[in-house]
Amino acid sequence: MQIKIITIGVYGFDEPSFFEALIKAEVDTFCDIRSRRGVRGSTYAFANSKRLQARLAELGIRYVYRKDLAPTQAVRERQAAADKATKTAKRKRTELGKEFIEAYHTECLAEFEPQSLLEELESDAKVVALFCVETAPEACHRSLVADKLAKTLNLEVEDILP
């Protein structure tokens, strides 16, 4: 059976609906691609690494952390500059800036071999969630990772939104 990739962010979900979405999508492997595995505020505390991993384990969902797929500080600064120029709040962003996309491709995706991710997964993995925080996949680097996986390995991608 072919692996399916889903993408999901935390913003816009509450704790029950976030985990319900993972269950409904039949996610068996959760791939965290954040640089910092914490989210500020009590609303999203469930997405902080230790709590998140504990809840995923309770649900029988494997957790994988791929820091190599997280944007570097320099890459994030490119997006921050673009957001500042357009006066867009981070949580209101609907798309990534051209400079961020170019820098992310150069600094992160150029060295990423999609097959390496598949080799890290358990042999029975069927539905893998790429996770970061932004609501809209187009406003998050997870869409760039998903695109590379889809194109390189001919995998189906589905975005889960709140």
Residue 35 pLDDT > 70: yes
What is the phi/psi pair of residue 10, to 5°? -95, -35
In this predicted structure, what is the pLDDT of residue 93? 79
In this predicted structure, what is the pLDDT of residue 119? 87
Q: Are 74 and 41 in contact (CB under 8 A)?
A: no
pLDDT tens for 106-162 read 999 998 999 888 888 888 899 999 999 999 999 999 999 999 999 999 999 999 999
Q: By three-state DSSP, how is residue 127 classified?
A: strand
Q: Are 88 and 54 in contact (CB under 8 A)?
A: no
pLDDT tens for 56-105 read 999 999 999 999 999 988 888 888 888 787 787 777 777 888 888 999 99
Cβ atoms < 10 Å from Cβ of 7: 24
Residue 1 pLDDT > 60: no
Which ranges in 31-120 belong to alpha helices (H)?
49-58, 73-86, 98-104, 114-120
Q: pTM of the predicted model, to two decimals?
A: 0.91
